[in-house]
Amino acid sequence: MEAKLKELKALLSEVYDLENVAALLHWDQSTYMPKGGAKARGRQMAVLEKLAHEKMTDPKIGRLLEELIPYGESLPYDSDEAGLIRAACRKFEKASRVPAEFMAEFTAHTAESYQAWTEARPADDFSRVAPYLEKTLEYSRRMADYFPGYEHIADPLIAFSDEGMKASTLKKLFAELRRELVPLVKSVTDREPADDSCLKKQYPEADQWKFGLKVIERLGYDFSRGRQDKTHHPFMTKFSLGDVRITTRLKENDLGEGLFSTIHEAGHAMYEQGIQREYEGTPLAGGTSSGVHESQSRLWENIVGRSRGFWEHFYPELQRVFPDQLGGVPLDTFYHAVNKVQPSLIRTDADELTYNLHVMIRFDLELAMLEGTLAVKDLPEAWRERYRQDLGVAPPGDRDGVLQDVHWYADTIGGVFQGYTIGNILSAQFFEAALSDHPEIPGEIRQGNFDTLRGWLTENIYRHGSKYTAEELTKRATGSALAIQPYIRYLKGKFGG
C-alpha cells in the first residue's frame, strides 16, 4: 500500500504542477500582460486546464484510489495518509463527472470574458460583457448538470467552493443573519455618522505601498515566499507553498482601499504559507474551502486590522509617513473613520455591518439567473433595485454596480459569493476560540506582536491545508459547528446594539 500511495502522489503531483502553471498565467494576465495577449492566453490556459483535467481523471488514479480507500480507512483518521486519500477521492470524483473538453472550453471563455471585463468596467459599459455573461450562464448551468440529483441548480456550484453547503442551507443561514443585522445596522446608522474625511485626502501611492508592505510583514506574511503587485481586482494566488503572491489596488484619494485590500489578501496568503510543506504537490496543499479561506482574510483585515489595539500601535507610524494628512488627526477620529458604518455601493469597501447585505444581494441575483427568472439583459436594473431596497443607495452607472466584482466574468455564475459571508461568521468564531486559549492576544496586538494569534491559527487551521473538511476543521478548532453567535457578539461589542 505504501508503494501504491507513492505512485498516487507522483500522479497527483503532475496535476498540481499543471494547475499552478495555469495560476501563473492567470496572475500574469491580471497584472502585467498586454491586452493584445488575451486571446492567446485563453487558448494557453485552456490547454493546461485540459491536460490537468485529463491527468486528474486518469483511470490509473481511479484504480489506485479503489485499492487505497480500505487502507486509508484502516489508518487513524487524523493521519496525513488517510487525509490525502480522502481529499484525492473527493477531487477525483468531482473531476470525473466533468469532461476535459468542457473544462478547456470554459477556461478559454473565462479568459476572454475577464479581458472584456477589464475594458468594460472603466468604460462603464455593461453591453461589452453581456454576451460573455450569457455564455457564462449557459456554461454554469451545464456544469451543474454534470452533477444530477441536486436540490437546486446552484448546489453543485456551491459545493465546488464550500463543500457541504447548498442553496437551501445558505438561504436559512442568510435569513438568520439578516434578522440580526438589519436592526443593528439601523441602530448604528440612526446615529451621526463618523467623519472619514481624513481618509479621503491625497495620499501618494508609493508611500501607501511601502506602509502596506511593512504592516503585512509584521503580521507574518513571508516575503521570501511571496510578493505583491497591482491589479484591477485584488486576489491571492499560489504557484507552490514557496511562492504565494498577493495583489492590491490603490487610490490616492482613499487611504483605506489599498491598505485594507493588502491586509485582506495577506490573510489569504498567510493561510497558504502556513500549510505543512510536506503537503506540497498533493490535494492537501491548499485551503479547505472558500469560507474558511475568507475567514482568514476577514479576520486579519477587520477583527485585527480595524481594531483599536492595532491602530494604537500602527497609527503613530502612519502619522510619520503622512504628517500633513494625519498629523493633526486624533487616534479616535482615525479609528472611527476606518470603522464608519454607512450604506455604500462597493462591496470591497463596505463596512463590517453592511458588508453581508452586499453578498446576499449577489447570492439572490445569481440564483435567479440560474433558475431562469432573471435574464442577463435585466441584471443591471435588478442590481440597482436591490441596492435601493436593501441599502437605500443605487449606482449611477454599471461600473459601481453590476461591473464592480470580477467573479461572474472570470468564473461560474453561482458558488462564489457565499464564501465571503461564511468567512465573516467563521472569522469571529475562530478569533473567539483563540482568545479563549490565549486571553493575552489583544494586549499583544496593541504592542504590534501577532505571533500568538498567528501561531494559534497555524496550529488549528493553516497547517492542516485540506486534510479536513470545513465542518471538521471548524469543530476541531472551536468545539462547535458554524454558528453566527460569536459573529453577532463581536459586532455588537464593537458597534453597540
Has 272 been labeled as part of a binding site?
no
The grid cell for 165 is 453547503
Q: How far is CA 342 from CA 172, 184, 231, 337, in A?
A: 26, 12, 26, 11
Has 264 been labeled as part of a binding site?
yes
The grid cell for 115 is 479581458
Question: Which of 265, 272, 301, 366 is an active site residue?
Answer: 265
The candidate with the shortest Cα–Cα distance to 294, out of 427, 412, 450, is 427
- Measured between alpha carbons, how far is 489 from 81 in angstroms, rounded to an integer? 38
Residue with cell 509584521: 218
The grid cell for 428 is 469571529
Cα-Cα-Cα-Cα torsion 36, 37, 40, 46, nearest 10 degrees, comes to: -130
Is residue 2 part of the annotated active site? The answer reads no
Name the strands in the sheet holding 236-240, side by side, starting at the edge strand that comes first in the sequence: 228-230, 243-248, 236-240
- Measured between alpha carbons, how far is 140 from 154 in angstroms, rounded to an integer? 9
The candidate with the shortest Cα–Cα distance to 336, out of 193, 212, 200, 189, is 193
The DSSP-derived string for 234-302 is --EEEEETTEEEEEE--BTTBHHHHHHHHHHHHHHHHHHHTS-GGGTTSTTSS-S-HHHHHHHHHIIII
Residue with cell 461564511: 422
Has 152 been labeled as part of a binding site?
no
Task: Answer whether 23's CB lies under 8 Å from 243's CB.
Answer: no
Binding residues: 264, 268, 294
Q: Which residues are catalytic?
A: 265
Binding residues for Zn(2+): 264, 268, 294
